[in-house]
A and B are shown apart, each in its own frame.
Chain A
Amino acid sequence: MASVFLGINDRTFTYSFTAGRSEFQGTGFRNPMDFALGPDDVVYIVNRSYESRSDGTRINMFRIGDDKEEYITEFGSYGEEPGQFIWPMSIALDKDTNVYVTDEWTHRVTVFNRDGEYLSHWGTHGSGDGELDRPAGITISPDGTVFIVDSRNNRVQKFTLDGKFLGKFGSAGSEDGEFNLPWGICLDKDGNVFVADWRNDRVQSFSNDGKWLATFGRPGTGGDCTIAKEQGGMVYVDVPVGQFNRPTGVCVDNDGDIYIADWLNNRVQVLTAEGRFITEFTGDAALSSLGVDKIKSNPDMIRQRNGVRDFTPEKVLWTPCAVRVDHRNRVLIADTSRHRFQVYQKNGEPVLV
């Protein structure tokens, strides 16, 4: 199924497949907050879980293949010791595939190697240069500059790979170049910086050195989270395009198209580089490969599913936190409250729906 086109019609996307299932350990996810794309279709995923099931708090590695997922391993755990995290938020890889994970509670960045072995951590709580207060989004440029969304300080800070302060931009507010508890961050192919300005309900872009370039979307209710809540948070909410309700994640593909995880509207919106609306994903999930395995092992689940007439609540996105486009032009969406990924293919040529 392809998504419905409401805007620019020279892009087509096709739903591809769904990856993962709900698991506290091993072959699934638990509140995936963010993910990073590694070589060979390997994806590193931040699983948040919750306090009474902190065994679900970890990073895991999956290979997202042609049409299904493959579990590789997992690492990291809940806590404040080295190699642990309390509220892991975001993840990025450097050119050597070392893994950097931010933690909004301990205010630090933990570094692992590509196989998940703990290497180091850095970050000090505070508001001075180089200090962090609730670090959220993280991304790393090809030259090894680490960009961190310093959420409660309402700024973006730049560091070396080992945590030395390089620079900062942004301040608290709602004017251009200002932030209100920002969350996600990414770089486009030219090195421009895009930030999900979470509580201002918009996305802003900056030059690599922090000069404000543009604002996308506008503050406002757009979607109403109470509607989403009353519907169980899983029913399509028909809200105006270009409006965001607490955008969390952002990425830009090689065409310059901007993808925004529109958290409380339960969708991902796609905009052109100029900010014109292209389309939105509200979810098309079918059973994942691992999901089928799980159901097949439980005859009672098979019986229950056979009685269901409407699977819409299971198909739709529920508070997606992150979106990325991989080297195959596949759009991967972290479907956070459904503990899975929905994968779409951006087509090179228009596809007849």
Chain B
Amino acid sequence: MPDQEIALMAHLLRRAGYGASRDEIEIRVTQGYDSVIEELLNPGNDPGIDEDLMYRAYPSYFDKAAIETGQTEWVYRMINNRYQLKEKMSLFWHTILCAGDNKVDNARTTAIQIDKFRDMGMGNFKEMLMMLSTDPAMLYYLDNIESHKMAVNENYGRELLELFSVGVGMDGESNYSEDDVKACARAFTGWNLAPTIPVFPYGRTPFEFRFDPADHDYGEKTFLGETGNWDGGDIVDIICKQPATARFVSRKLYDFFVADEPPVPSWTLSPPRDMDAIKALEQAYFDSGYEITAMLKVLFNSDFFKDEAVHFAKVKSPADVVIGTMRMVGDHLEPKPGLFFVAMEPKYMGLDLMNPPTVEGWHMGREWINSGSLIDRINFASSMLGNTELPGVRSIINRLMAIGDVPSSEQFLDGCLDLVGPMDLAQETKSQLTEHLDAGGALKHSTEAEQSEFTKRAGETLQMIATTSEFQFG
């Protein structure tokens, strides 16, 4: 099977999902790149996992008494959802349309928002913003429940513009004014929550949206140059037809799936890394009537996505590190104890799922790496890849044995790199690793004792690969 096709498919499955085992990559290459993209872009309506088996093993996922339960369920879905792009879109939107359970304090309500991102994440952006504007977690998180006809709270109106749609500016110009913020906030007055049954004595009940017409400002508003008796739905309509919104969504998709962009607040003065790519995505946004799937189709079929220069050019997010590793080693592919501890790993690496640090979300790219998170990333990945009892690691070892009766150190190392990527290392690093392998003697696997030693050395080599700087990129 041509190496280039393997590399491209692995790249696609890392970006449009959380990676795949070598067996799946090869099956997908046989299926064909175009066909795989179509499959990714057209997921089924079913959950993509055996939900009933999950709930049988983890009945606490129904009520989600604590945010950790919601986080654990999400990690289970990330690992196992057979519609990987659909699943990854829930994280994509969560990193942009931020609400945090540290304020909402109702894990089920927060998790329902994530479920909506999953279900609607590849749909229409206008519908997404409408959903967001009636989403209880968001209305609570950004204080719209405190926004009244006679006392407007601008928080949601401001962030809807600044961080969720048009962005602060582009091409050196601001995209909106303070008056637009005020008009936007007035249009969402009365978009509130029903009184909620408190947590005692039977546990939390999800928040529910309720429109209060008596608290809505029906007055005339001028918003982004248009004047009328706008309500929230009109605001969303006006937002979606802005060129700045097309730019915003395009840059966000490019940032998440192709190559790192700077954070939104700097977009006024920082042009896109690849303007041609952004223009192509903007075109798809308008041509399709704001359909995210149409934009993704352009993206994944583009040369700018397939370009080898962007393979391994993004720093893996903590979710990519943890989920990608779990899928590679083949662990927690069905319910079992211990998932909670895996699910907390992204938090230790800086991605506290369902708890973004601010409404701006996480600063990604190289900002994922600091002295603490790097140690966690390395320790987690190396401990998993070094566990030679895990089925995915066993599969890698079996393939290494198939290289030959006594593979050279170079062959052995290349095999390891091929099977965990395919990826490459700096020549100096490779030389150090092959020297280490040479020092351990011939890599035989004829007898039971040799197989045991071969397995041990394979695990060690995979662990060392997980400690390299190259492994931090995906």
Write 7 A-B pairs (CB below 8 A) sorted by A numbering: A31-B60, A53-B65, A304-B196, A321-B59, A336-B62, A337-B62, A339-B203
Determine if A13 is an interface residue (Cβ-Cβ < 8 Å).
Answer: no
- Nearest 3 Cβ contacts at the A-B interface: A291-B201, A21-B201, A50-B60
Contact of A287 among B69, B194, B201, B341 (CB under 8 A): B201
Q: A319 touching B59 by the CB < 8 A rule?
A: yes
Q: Which residues of A contact B56 (CB under 8 A)?
A: 181, 183, 198, 246
A338: chain B residues within 8 A (beta carbon): 63, 202-203
Q: Given A105-B337, A313-B205, does the pair A21, B200 have CB atoms closer than 8 Å?
A: yes
B333-347 Cβ-contact flags toward A at 8 Å (1 or 0): 000111111000000
Residue ranges of B at the interface with A (Cβ–Cβ < 8 Å): 47, 51-53, 55-60, 62-63, 65-66, 68-69, 72, 108, 112, 115, 194-203, 205-206, 336-341
A window 103-162: CB within 8 A of B: 104-105
| Apart from A291-B200, A298-B200, A304-B197, 9 more pairs, CB < 8 Å | A21-B201, A53-B66, A87-B337, A104-B57, A287-B201, A313-B197, A313-B205, A337-B203, A338-B202
A300 to B105, CA, bound (A): 15
A residues with a Cβ closer than 8 A to B are: 21-22, 28, 31, 33, 48-53, 86-87, 104-105, 181, 183, 198-199, 225-226, 229, 232-234, 246, 264, 285, 287-288, 290-292, 294-295, 298, 300-301, 304-305, 307-311, 313-314, 318-319, 321, 336-340
Q: Pick the contact of A87 from B57, B112, B205, B339 — CB < 8 Å?
A: B57
Report whether A294 and B62 are in contact in the complex, using a CB–CB cutoff of 8 Å: no
| Inter-subunit contact B201/A295 (CB<8 Å) | yes
Task: Assess the A339–B202 pair: CB atoms within 8 A.
Answer: yes
A21–B202 touching, CB < 8 Å: yes
Contact residues in B for A50 (Cβ distance below 8 Å): 58, 60, 65, 69, 340
Rounded to whole angstroms, the CA-CA distance of A27 and B108 in the bound complex is 24
Query: By CB atoms of chain A within 10 A, which of B108, B112, B202, B206 has the most?
Result: B202
Are A294 and B108 interface neighbours, CB within 8 A? no
Please classify the interface of chain A as helix (H, G, I), strand (E, B), loop, or mixed, using the class held by over half of its residues. Answer: loop
Q: Chain A CB within 10 Å — which of B60, B62, B68, B108 has the most?
A: B62
Contacts of B199 in A (CB 8 A): 301
Q: Which residue of B lies closest to A287 (CB)?
A: B201
One of B60, B194, B201 near A48 (C-beta < 8 A): B60
Q: Which residues of B contact A225 (CB under 8 A)?
A: 51-52
B197 touches A301 (CB 8 A): no
Closest beta carbon of chain A to B123's beta carbon, Å: 16
The answer to whether A337 and B59 touch across the interface, beta carbons within 8 angstroms, is: yes
- Is B197 in contact with A314, judged by CB distance below 8 angstroms? yes
Q: Is the CB of A336 within 8 A of B59?
A: yes
Bound-complex Cα distance A300 to B200 (A): 10
- Which residues of A have CB within 8 Å of B206? 232
Contact of A22 among B52, B55, B196, B201 (CB under 8 A): B201
Chain A residue, CB-CB nearest to B45? A226
Q: B57 near A51 (CB under 8 angstroms)?
A: no
Q: Shortest beta-carbon distance, A255 to chain B, in Å?
A: 31
Give complex CA distance A225, B47 in Å: 11
Residue of A28, A199, A234, A294 near B205 (CB, 8 A) is A234
Q: Say whether A246 contacts B52, CB under 8 Å.
A: yes
Q: Which of B60, B108, B115: most chain A CB closer than 10 A?
A: B60
How long is the Cα–Cα vector from A336 to B55 in the complex, in angstroms?
Answer: 12
B116 → chain A closest CB, angstroms:
9
Contacts of B66 in A (CB 8 A): 52-53
CB-defined contacts of B108 to chain A, threshold 8 Å: 232
A319 contacts across to B, CB distance below 8 A? 55, 59, 62
Judge whether B52 and A232 touch: CB under 8 Å: no
The reply to whether A22 and B60 contact each other, CB–CB distance below 8 Å, is: no
B59: contacting residue among A21, A48, A295, A310, CB under 8 A: A48
- Could you tell me the distance between the alpha carbons of A51 and B68 in the complex, rounded to whole angstroms? 10
CB distance from B446 to the nearest CB of A (A): 32
A69 CB to nearest chain B CB (Å): 12
A22 & B203 in contact (Cβ 8 Å cutoff) = yes
Contacts of A292 in B (CB 8 A): 201
